[in-house]
A and B are shown apart, each in its own frame.
Chain A
């Protein structure tokens, strides 16, 4: 039976299955990123083969999270498949909001990048299948660094990064040394800032889950961040996140950008070079790890069909389907999920960033360690984190725009985080 189903999914026995499951409809909530938009087109062939009708509901990230949470927390039923991130997957799995996923041998779950797979699992069970994954790395204009006589190495020191940013910073010519995230949001500026803090040896919480935002490591990291971005960043950095910086970079206004590896596939400027994320002594957690994944809410009446679709959409066959689709190609395949993707010579040929991206993802370390008791690199996989993260995010943006001193912002952050954690009954 399983073999039959799988062969149907790989579209080999299309004819035999076309009429069987025609009545099923799946409602899929997605965040409207490039890869998801492409999926809507690629999946037309899935509907053609299986007869399953797909209703897409695309939403902005924050609204999606809100609606999916309210649906799932009230027993589900509106969506059969939801797009969730690495922060939610393990928590929602633990709370029983989403169903555990297991796929057949053909799916080759071991092909999945281990860091991604761990991040989407709770106690060894996979709860969400990764659609695409990302880490963070340095992207910089080699022409500018060469002209300025500086260089950026893999896992460089932050001091050297700052020196390089200073050397290529030329606002009169419209080039800013470093473009970094500053827009408040736990998934925006805090994603980057947390990696800086990690690399300075800091963490969000100590072993009792008390926040440690007033620690020396945080102080050093935030002072460095405000100094680097304040002096060598573009004006209005406190409003910049991925999208805004991408626009700036493609305008040639950024000498250097440290952000999601997925950015590399959008860059149009020539002479881009990549380097692994810098650190200040602690390379563990200096680059983040994120995946947009697909999960089945516990209340879905079509759970079986939903799981079949997820199995297809996150399979090797899907990667091939995108690559062979008339509108797309190897440059558009979703990356960061399977090591087999990186082995295709066609993919390597079009993706100059492939090696750097894979190295970054593989070196990301979401597991709990002696230094931090929580899962996650640039976030903590606890239900309270979005609240803590956004509270701190606003303080950091205030420090960046100069409305508050770094010390005041950190003190306020610590107080806010402490209030949220004690309110939630951690201590």
Chain B
């Protein structure tokens, strides 16, 4: 029994702090989710104080799930954005980590350039991408398409060849703030920001890869792909698990990017929906918050099933 005491003592501060941090806000949220609580209501002023007298049972949950709009859309978007970002960052991260793990001139500089996006603040990231890069008229996206159209137009005047180019349609720049594209825009900017994180973690791990084993494989005539598949990938199982878990946690709570790209048009996720309710209806916001916690835990359990073995061994 005594040899359990010390580990417990060492864990105690972290556990207690997190317990308080979780229980106090979560407890309040849980309470609010079962009462009528609005910030301001001119007809029912009694609803503006969080009191047990305004008990509502499951009313807020019913409202969120069945009457108010967008709950399921927000769930779908939350999962879509998290899934999209994780897939892209892991694939890109693996490719780039392997790429910059070779030695080549200026490797240090490339690594530095590579990891920089991870240090950018989310709000800056979103404003930068949506206004200066993806804007269909004044952003680089619009300017590039305009330039392309202009050069095609000028080619149309060439004899013979010009006829061929005149068949070319005028390109329309894609608007990344539209209903169908805004989630893609969010995935793009978050992937840009978080791929360096994956690269960093994978790179750290690649350093410790067994070079002798690798050389042996090369001597056995294994090609690059089978080396990667059979040696590198298994070696990276744990870092991949970390990257997936941590990103899932972070991206389930994306907010600034959603707000800045299109204010929830087409990309509304659960945190954004909660923010919308919270403009006045705290009861509904709290109920959505509790539902979001449930969803996040389902995602976590699901992920642990898939990657947990790698983390816990």
Contact = CB atoms under 8 A, between A and B. Distances in A.
Interface stretch (B77-85, B211-219, B263-271): B263-271
A235 B136 contact: yes
A398 interface: yes
Contacts, number: 140
B68 interface: yes
A368 interface: no
Q: How large is the interface on B (under 10, 10 to 19, 20 to 34, 35 or more residues)?
A: 35 or more
Contacts of A239: 130, 135, 175-178, 262
Counting chain B CB atoms within 10 Å of each CB, the highest count among A95, A97, A401 belongs to A401
A387 interface: yes
Interface stretch (A26-34, A319-327, A338-346, A411-419): A411-419
Contact of B284 (A97, A247, A423): A423
Does more than half of chain A's interface fall in helix, strand or loop, or is it mixed? helix
A401 B178 contact: yes
B279 A234 contact: no
Counting chain B CB atoms within 10 Å of each CB, the highest count among A382, A412, A420 belongs to A420
Interface in B5-45: 38-45
A296 interface: no
Contacts of B131: 244
B265 A416 contact: no
B294 interface: no
Given A185-B263, A390-B263, A390-B276, A238 B177 contact: yes
Interface in A185-237: 185, 188, 234-237
Nearest to A243: B131
Does more than half of chain B's interface fall in helix, strand or loop, or is it mixed? loop
A149 interface: no
Counting chain B CB atoms within 10 Å of each CB, the highest count among A235, A382, A393, A412 belongs to A235
B262 A235 contact: no
A184 interface: yes
B42 A403 contact: no
Q: How large is the interface on A (under 10, 10 to 19, 20 to 34, 35 or more residues)?
A: 35 or more
B41 A403 contact: no
A124 interface: no
Interface string A386-399: 11001101100110
Contact of B43 (A69, A174, A253, A425): A425
A394 B262 CA distance: 9
A416 B70 CA distance: 9
A251 interface: yes
Nearest to B175: A236
Interface string B163-186: 000000010110111111000000
A299 to B, nearest CB: 15
Given A236-B175, A387-B281, A401-B178, A424 B265 contact: no
Interface of A: 62, 65-66, 69, 73, 91-92, 94-95, 97, 172, 174, 183-185, 188, 234-239, 244, 247-248, 251, 253, 382-384, 386-387, 390-391, 393-394, 397-398, 401, 403-404, 412, 415-416, 419-420, 422-426
30 contacts: A62-B259, A66-B278, A91-B42, A94-B42, A95-B42, A183-B262, A183-B263, A235-B175, A237-B175, A239-B175, A383-B39, A383-B280, A387-B279, A387-B281, A391-B69, A391-B70, A391-B276, A394-B264, A397-B179, A398-B265, A401-B265, A403-B180, A412-B69, A416-B68, A416-B69, A419-B68, A420-B281, A423-B67, A424-B281, A425-B44
